[in-house]
Amino acid sequence: MELDKKKIIIGSRGSDLALWQANFVKNQLKEICQTEAEIEIIHTKGDKILDVSFDKIEGKGFFTKELEDALLNQTIDLAIHSMKDLPTTSPAGLCLGGVSYREDPRDCLLISQMGWDDTKPLKLKPNAVVGTSSVRRKAQMMDLRNDISTSDLRGNVPTRIRKLREGNYDAIILAKAGLLRLNLDLSDLHIVDLHPAEFVPAPAQGVLAYQCRESDIDLRKKLVLIHQKEVADCTNVERAILKAMDGGCQVPLGIYCYKDVNGNFHIHAAWSPGIDQALIRVRQSQSTTFGLAELVLSELKKS
């Protein structure tokens, strides 16, 4: 097939991880869709405000609004998001054109030598200080180890790791997907991967979302070629629950849905009305996704 010379302008945040994601999609468009693309860096509110935790920043879409604005004013054609950052409702005129494969969805602890204790749960020393600005991670960490304390942590992945190495924390929590995609040298740190049934990830963690204009039919047809339907089957359930719980980065809600080798769907959810309140856990399985989100929601609201 002849290469389409009309370039797609991809909007991306400027971090190393965001650019890895944008380049991944750029390569997919070239190899599978035979379409050229170039990347335009756009800075978002979440990139600019680094001294305030997410729950204190007003509104939603900390890492997405400026990209969506660029789509609407036609500065870019395609926005690549970490799907866990993307609000569940797109602005009028925009749509979700597809999703990527799912990288390892787990959270993981990076623990310094001083914070490591092989005899304790999660391998954290007693009264450890754990860096994270996610209320979801704070709530689940306190549920598993109520002796530890959490301290806000902002910045891109390398910046967060640097702060750990500088001794500001005994450990930090990061998404495993970002570490794998960046392929960083972490040989001086201990890594503890957190099982998603016990420490439930953010909805759609590890998945990239491809957002475009509804009117751009030609691009939407191309995105169908790189869209991962089986991944979407699971993230649709996760995000339906998130939307019903009016969720975002400010809500202590973890949801993880996966399909086993026999075609059955399993879901884990963990939610807390507040960081200092008891965590509610729900687990459900069934042969289809039909009604699965509603079933989990009824259990969460019943508790």
Question: Does 216 qualify as catalytic in the annotation?
Answer: no
| Catalytic entry in 77, 85, 104, 107 | 85
CB 108 within 8 A of CB 194: yes
Strand pairing class (171-175; 94-102): unpaired
Q: Could you give the 3-state DSSP secondary structure of residue 123? A: helix
Q: Could you give the 3-state DSSP secondary structure of residue 245? A: coil
Residue type, 274: G
Three-state SS for 253-293 is: EEEEEEECCCCCEEEEEEECCCCCCCCEEEEEEECCCCCHH
Strand pairing class (107-111; 171-175): antiparallel
Phi, psi for residue 297 in degrees, rounded to 5:
-60, -40
Question: Catalytic amino acids?
Answer: 85
